[in-house]
Chains A and B, each alone.
Chain A
Amino acid sequence: MLHRRIYQFLVIYAIGLCLLLALKYGLNLSDYVIPSPAEIVQTCRTYGGPYLLAVLNTLAVAILGHILSICLATLVAVTGRLTAWIGSFIRTAAYNIQAYPIVAVAPIIFILLGDGLQSRLLIAAMICYFPLLLSFIGVFSEPIREIEHFYESTGRMTWRLQVKIRAFENIQKLTTVIVGSATMAMVGTIVAEFIAATAGIGYSIRIALYQSDLAKILVALFWIGVGTSFYLVSLEWVGNALQKRLRSL
């Protein structure tokens, strides 16, 4: 799976790079607009290592933010499942808050929390939290009547059992949503770093943009792609393992 995902990413990256170089040589553009292959290689040699570390830094924050979002979304969705009104209220609130652009909210976050880890974590969590929440509310508020009816009629239904039944029956859907939101967690972290952090690949990209250095950005994009691929494959692997285990029970 990992092999396939990385291979697919490399193909997309190579196609993008080739198109850029075709544009460069087709229009006879200088290295300032689009760097030459030699410059890209040289930049990769110089900044490949530091940028890899920066991506790992970003990835660590993204994973933390993602886990935080999953926990919070589960908690809110389980609570929201109790009554239709609460579920509907939370859904409406989630839609509204999701509509706010993070760049508008970010200054408030940075004033309150500074430009350290907390702000990055919160912004990453915010970006991937709401899509997760909406899906989780949908899953946990939808009864599985054919199964739940049996436990309800025998008086053995508890809220824990209800949550387990709904999670088990929708495990594939939940896995897909969690994997899908992982990319958003990564994007959220990079955006947070770009806006105001002092570490991570988003911060490095901001500096590269100040210096109009596309070669550095290409190297950064490469490592972001590789890092995200690894994370997505890991999540898919965990999801598959979990499904197999649940089926075997």
Chain B
Amino acid sequence: MKPGLKSICLACVIFLIACAQKEELEEVNYRLKWLYNVSTVGDLYAETRGYFTRRGLKVNVKPGGPERDALKELELGHAQFGVASADQVLRAAAKGAPVVVLAQLFQVNPLHWIYRPDQTAFSGGDDLKGKRIGVTFGGNDEAILRAILARYGIAENEVTLFSVRYDYMPFYERRVDFWPLYLNAQAVIIGEKLEKAGETYAFLSPDQLGVRFVANSVVTTREMVEKRPDTVKRFLAALLQGWRDALDPRNQEQAVQVLLEADRETPEAVVRRQLPVTRELMLPAAGAEFGTIDPAAWKQTEEILRSQKLIPGSVDVESLLFTFK
């Protein structure tokens, strides 16, 4: 065989092998709950650093947003995996959606309320009496706040609920005592502004007041678990490994770079402050696996939604929480 012909044959073989490998990748869509931000760092890490590819998957990680509902996309077949908050999952399950929870990303709900200790004395739930508290009516912060009030026997007329919008002016102007935000996202930015203004601040944690309302979890459909268990296993293994590595302090530089590539709007300094907070909220107790599902917290979330009539009836929580045996 002539050398030229040999080279062409070799190139063809390499090309065919490459094509075959590419074809082997199973493509799935993964719809996040919100836009790319620090709460999606593990998802992005797994995608960009080839964790999914190594498991034979081509995962399209798609940002979420206010109009995007991963659960609806799962049912419509537009996505095979998604991220949803527990209240979304329970509302969907209560209406017959065939949803299954694979992993719980946040072990502590990042939703907190910021307040100024010099203006607002707060040492426990009872201190909420008489305070002006920001709340997004219809949002899960409303459900959490009402659960806290119920837990401490505070009637609605004993507090002033202030409707929250997207700007923080009412809090900056001290018209509101408590303002809801996400501890690992906005809290870093708002905290920095308050520090620059020489103000002190602290956070009200629902978790510390005994209200454990589950936040983001990885979900799929029952059909996926039953008909494509191997795909689900590979996806979950790659995703959780991605999360573990992204939150490992030794990989902080890579994680920051991955996030900055996807989220060009957030300054690097902010991302660097957000990452350790996210780590604290997501890492499970010592000895537990990343993504551990907390059934007790799920049951409490279900009870909160049911008691506030946000779901029409009870939901069998155990049947939603899936673990591979």
Contact = CB atoms under 8 A, between A and B. Distances in A.
A209 B165 contact: no
Nearest to B140: A210
B49 interface: no
B55 interface: no
Nearest to B96: A30
A35 B169 CA distance: 38
B166 A212 contact: no
Contact of A212 (B88, B96, B163): B88
Contacts of A35: 95
A30 B98 contact: yes
Interface string B124-144: 000000000000111100000
Interface residues of B, number: 25
Interface size class of A (residues with CB under 8 A): 20 to 34
A7 to B, nearest CB: 32
Given A30-B95, A212-B92, A196 B166 contact: yes
A195 B164 CA distance: 11
B236 interface: no
Interface stretch (A107-115, A225-233, A238-246): A107-115
A115 B95 contact: no
A33 B72 contact: yes
A5 interface: no
A12 to B, nearest CB: 23
Contacts of A209: 66-67, 138
Contacts of A33: 72, 75-76, 97
Contacts of B137: 198, 207
Nearest to B74: A33
Among A29, A30, A111, A207, find the residue whose CB has the most chain B CB atoms closer than 10 A: A30
Given A210-B139, A212-B69, A32 B167 contact: no
B310 interface: yes
B75 A30 contact: yes
Contacts of A30: 75, 92, 95-98
A215 to B, nearest CB: 10
Interface string B90-115: 01101111100000000000000000
A243 B92 CA distance: 55
B57 interface: no
A107 B92 contact: no
Among A27, A33, A39, A211, find the residue whose CB has the most chain B CB atoms closer than 10 A: A33
A31 interface: yes
A166 interface: no
B48 to A, nearest CB: 30
B71 interface: yes
Nearest to B75: A33
Interface string A203-233: 0001111111000000000000000000000
B166 A107 contact: yes
Given A111-B169, A196-B166, A210 B71 contact: no
B114 to A, nearest CB: 19
A29 B75 contact: yes
Contacts of A210: 136, 138-139
Given A107-B167, A111-B167, A209-B66, A32 B138 contact: no
Interface string B69-82: 10110011000000
Interface string A2-33: 00000000000000000000000001011111
B313 to A, nearest CB: 12
Interface in A103-157: 107, 110-111, 115
A209 B166 CA distance: 16
Interface of B: 66-67, 69, 71-72, 75-76, 88, 91-92, 94-98, 136-139, 163, 165-167, 169, 310
23 contacts: A27-B76, A29-B76, A30-B98, A32-B71, A32-B91, A32-B95, A32-B96, A32-B97, A33-B75, A33-B97, A39-B95, A111-B167, A115-B163, A195-B165, A195-B166, A196-B166, A198-B137, A198-B163, A207-B137, A207-B138, A209-B66, A209-B67, A211-B138
